[in-house]
Amino acid sequence: MSTNLNRILSSLCYFSMFFAPFLFPVVIYLAVQDQEVMRHAKRSFLSHLFPVIAIPLSIIIVAETEFSITSIVVCAILFGLSSLVIMVWNIVQGIKTLKA
């Protein structure tokens, strides 16, 4: 494949958090043979996976503390901040990959 197409596919893997967070990186990882694109697809998939892991974890923490308001607020703040950081990281990585 051409270099431009590889960059676009790699970048779209990061931007897919807005339209197909898990599906797009997996499809790209399985369909493309270029090692660089596969690396970006794997990195973006793992970053999209974090919120899916954080939600059940925060539910378990809140349930174990018997739904105390403090644990609910702390989990909501931590989950919200971490999701925001991951979203910004994905956008930055997508732009860097596109410009490279």
Distance of alpha carbon 80 from the chain centroid = 14
Domain of 49?
Answer: 3-98
Residue 6, CA atoms < 13 Å, CB-side half-sphere: 13
The tens digit of pLDDT for each residue in 14-33 reads 999 888 888 999 999 999 99
CA–CA distance, 59 with 75 (Å, rounded to integer): 8
CA–CA distance, 44 with 69 (Å, rounded to integer): 33
Distance of alpha carbon 27 from the chain centroid = 15
Residue 85, CA atoms < 13 Å, CB-side half-sphere: 8
Give the pLDDT of residue 16.
93
pLDDT below 70 — which residues of the chain?
1
pTM for the predicted model, two decimal places: 0.83
Overall number of domains in the chain: 1
The DSSP call for residue 17 is: G
